[in-house]
Amino acid sequence: MQRTATPLILCLILSACAPTGRAPMADAAGQAVPPATPEAPAKVGRSADTLNEPRAEHDTPMVSAPAAVAAPRQRALESLAMKGEAKLMRVMPHPMPSIAPPQPVDRERYQGITTNPVHQVATAPVSTFSIDVDTGSWSNLRRFLNEGRLPPSDAVRVEECINYFPYDDAPPTGNTPFAVHTELAQSPWNPERLLMRVALKGQDIGKQTLPPANLVFLVDVSGSMRSANKLPLLKSSLKLLVQQLRAQDRISLVTYAGASGLALPATSGSDKATILAAIDALNAGGSTAGASGIELAYQTAQAGFVQGGINRILLATDGDFNVGQTNFEQLKARVEQLRATGVQLTTLGFGTGNYNEQLMEQMADAGNGAYAYIDTLMEGHKVLVNEMSSTLVTIAKDVKIQVEFNPAAVSEYRLIGYENRMLRREDFNNDKIDAGEIGAGHSVTALYELTPAGQRGLIDPLRYGSDPRPGAATVARSAELAHVRLRYKRPHASTSQLIEHPVRREATRSISATSDNFRFASAIAGFGQILRGGSYTGQWSVADARALAATALGTDQFGYRGEALRLMDLAAALSPQPPQATAPLE
């Protein structure tokens, strides 16, 4: 060790005694290293608040004195410099490696969905649920696919995907507000089972014959709404609706951020310039006190209430309530209380990243309205222009469907979708139980997958089971496969009315012989189930769904069905499933 250290010590001594500057130092291997330029004494031991300041160009070493005088001083300065550098090394943070910019945190919220199970007819012959005319799930999953990713499974509510599309079933005749249609055919994803479609077609009302409207735009102008797909898109969408308004219609504009306020008092639909200027003036900023905005919106709607007219709030937001009342169940309960005023609440969802889809969907249900998600201006046009009548006008409320299956014809059934719309059997005849609303011209479809009697089902039969119902033998001998009942109330009534519709066994047809409506709804139902995991669709693929939908485009006036094919192509490309389609069913 002494032989190794001696040359190094000698080099240090020679460096200190050099007449000008310092000799090159050596490392442990004896290799020369470049000298470090000493700092001026004023820069040694900087205070903490100056450690990050850039060095000035004039921070240069002091001029050397004559060698005889300078050597001791030079050694002292070097010692101070070395101590100062050591101190700086202790104080200054270590250099940080380059880090990619942080990715935005995805805080979107969806209600958990447990797929409806298979039921045995022998033990549970009756299925009861509330209808649903919401469409937000389809446009939301479209947004995901257009972004190049599959949607979360809980973002896919199959019934909303099916009911996004208009169906040209025959309208009602007489005084009934909607017509009931049923179809029965082989299931496209399981040839051993049947698919039963129950469809409602609401009476349509022309825009010019709508009753006077008292509309309140409740607009979220909080800081979370700054993105282009939020407040700017929201403003453009509302302007589309303004252009459809008449002189007898009244519009109010309520905003909320840290606090709520009335941005536009009730204004005639003929004064479009004033309404559009108020919308243009909206700017995003602040936190989101949604509950206070809802209270003010209902107060405003009640102040301008039109007896026998349309009284509706259109809540437009990303649903990210973070100030004031933010508890989901309490917000929902409050809206349920306020619907007793006769004012209905429609929700229009916007944005990504922090979108609270659960709140938007459930608030619309509680407010006797519908939920739509607007991802593009074209979707805004669909909801607020093309489907203006169904968005604003309710033709029947508290609409419930109850289906009883004949155990002699059906051994098992499964309702596809409507998971958060299920009702108890006794709720069907209870007029105090809330259910869904149908708007003018609305189409509503529900699909049941059935296992015919005699076919092997998913549930083993009871060893000691029997049918204890009186008259069961008579039912078994009948030609009926199922019996469909519907209850509904007129918009201003408190007592429900009953519609009954039997489904006969001989109605079963091959899928190729069914209507475009049946085949397209079946394709969308299969596609939605696959996006949710495909628990009951077997080997059926997205390509199979697309092939079936392509045979059922119909007139497709607005191109919605054609767009569905393109979205299926995107989903197939993003999905690990094989792209090949199986042979179509005959």
CATH number where 228 lies: 3.40.50.410
Structure tokens at 529: 């189930």
Q: How many residues does the chain have?
A: 586
Domain endpoint, select from 365, 390, 415: 390
Domain shared by 416 and 516, yes or no: yes
Domain shared by 310 and 379, yes or no: yes
Domain shared by 362 and 418, yes or no: no
Express each pLDDT in 154-165 by its tens digit.
Answer: 999 999 999 999
Domain shared by 13 and 159, yes or no: no
Nearest in space to 343 (alpha carbons), one of 234, 243, 215: 215
Q: Look at residue 116 and tell me if it is in a domain.
A: no
Tell me what pLDDT residue 456 has: 82
Which structural domain range is residue 374 located in? 207-390
Q: Where are the alpha helices (DSSP H) in 304-392?
A: 328-338, 357-366, 377-381, 388-392
Q: At what angle do helices 2-17 and 67-91 cross, to 10 degrees?
A: 120
Domain endpoint, select from 390, 422, 439: 390
Domain endpoint, select from 356, 371, 390: 390
Domain shared by 235 and 253, yes or no: yes
Q: Note the pTM of the prediction, 2 decimals.
A: 0.79
Domain shared by 293 and 155, yes or no: no
Domain shared by 196 and 268, yes or no: no
Q: How many CB atoms lie within 10 A of CB 313?
A: 27
Structure tokens at 110: 């969806």
CATH of residue 415's domain is 2.60.40.1230
Mean per-residue pLDDT, 549-573: 97
Domain shared by 218 and 354, yes or no: yes
Nearest in space to 546 (alpha carbons), one of 188, 107, 120: 188
Domain shared by 368 and 225, yes or no: yes
Q: Look at residue 38 and tell me if it is in a domain.
A: no
Tell me what pLDDT residue 37 has: 44
Q: Look at residue 316 and tell me if it is in a domain.
A: yes
pLDDT over 90 (residue 580): no
Domain shared by 416 and 398, yes or no: yes
Q: Where are the alpha helices (DSSP H) in 53-135?
A: 67-91
Separation CA 217–CA 314 (nearest Å): 5
Say how many domains are in the chain.
3
Q: Look at residue 20 and tell me if it is in a domain.
A: yes
Q: How many CB atoms lie within 10 A of CB 50?
A: 8
Backbone angles phi, psi at 191, to 5 degrees: -65, -15
Domain shared by 211 and 199, yes or no: no
Q: Look at residue 106 and tell me if it is in a domain.
A: no
Tell me what pLDDT residue 288 has: 62
Tell me what pLDDT residue 3 has: 45
**pLDDT-based confidence at residue 237 (cuts at 50, 70, 90):** very high
Structure tokens at 427: 């709720």
pLDDT over 50 (residue 77): no
Tell me what pLDDT residue 460 has: 81
**Cβ partners under 8 Å of residue 89, min gap 6:** none
Amino acid identity for residue 309 in this structure: G
- Whether 133 contacts 437, CB under 8 Å: yes
Q: Look at residue 465 and tell me if it is in a domain.
A: no
Name the strand (E) or helix (H) holding 199: strand 190-202
Express each pLDDT in 373-411 by its tens digit.
Answer: 999 999 999 999 999 999 999 999 999 999 999 999 999
Q: Look at residue 141 and tell me if it is in a domain.
A: no
Domain shared by 438 and 515, yes or no: yes
